[in-house]
Amino acid sequence: MQHLKNTGRLAGLLYLTIAILAGFSMMYMPATLIVDGAINTTASNILSSEGLFRLALVSDGLIFLIEIVLSVVLYGLFQSVNRTLALTAATFRVAMSIIQGMNVLNYFAVLALLGGAEARLSAQQLGQAEVFLALHGAGVLVWQLFFGCHLIALSYLAATSGYVPRIFGWLLGAAAVGYLGNSLGIMLMPSARAVFDTLVMVLAPLPELAFTLWLMIKGIERPDHSQPRPARMRPTP
């Protein structure tokens, strides 16, 4: 039982580490350096803050490595609930991690194209850099599909395991809807991107944070079925 609790806390710690790293590389850095539709400004920002951009690359690298470890830890926690579904959840998360790793290459391509003084950048270089930035954004939409499918499987495991309160199953399911809705919605209607970005921001962060904090503070507790249920009183005729 203590081993199970400690493993749950390890999963929570890995979740929290990923959240901190992702907050920097997937939110802070793009909001600071990347300006949609203004590649000249974006190039200038990246060149003047190359250290920040490279730190985001390191952060992204750590994220997909930790994600693989977390996939194994979650499989170990939930395989006794449903081995097939736990393996499915782990497979989706590992696949997501591989796509995240490949997506980092788009940022390296941007650096390679902008690797010189801004004054020497040609229109072709800027255009190619803009394409790779767009490809990175598309890569995010792709890995979110795998992550949403992972969360669907994990939500069922959490709801039926008895290891955590059943409400976490519903919360993780809502987060899955947010990620899948964001990716599929933007693919179908890119002009409504702001709406779908709002959808994922409303549905995803709170459930994931709540699940992370529960794992870190409470860990995982296997239901105790050793105590016999009280016998039902038969009505007196």
Is residue 225's pLDDT more than 80? Answer: no
Q: Give the pLDDT of residue 1.
A: 60
Segment 32-61, tens digit of pLDDT:
999 998 999 999 999 999 999 999 999 999
Overall pTM surpassing 0.85 (yes/no): yes
pLDDT tens, position by position, 141-190: 999 999 999 999 999 999 999 899 999 999 999 999 999 999 999 999 99
Cα 42 to its chain centre, rounded Å, is: 25
DSSP state of 232: P
Q: Given a cut of 50, is residue 230 above it in pLDDT? A: no
- In angstroms, the Cα distances linking 94 to 34, 74, 98 are 28, 11, 6
Which structure tokens are listed for 138?
A: 């598309």
Candidate from 17-26, 66-75, 114-123, 165-174 with smallest mean pLDDT: 114-123
Of the candidates 211, 91, 194, 84, the residue with the CA atom closest to the CA atom of residue 158: 211
Residue type, 121: L
For residue 216, pLDDT over 70 is answered with yes
Task: Give the single-character DSSP code of 218.
Answer: T
110 Cβ partners below 8 Å, 6+ apart?
46, 129, 132, 133, 136
Q: What pLDDT shows up at residue 116?
A: 61
* Contact by Cβ (8 Å): 88, 163: no
Q: 134 pLDDT exceeds 80?
A: yes
Chain centroid, CA 231 distance in Å: 46
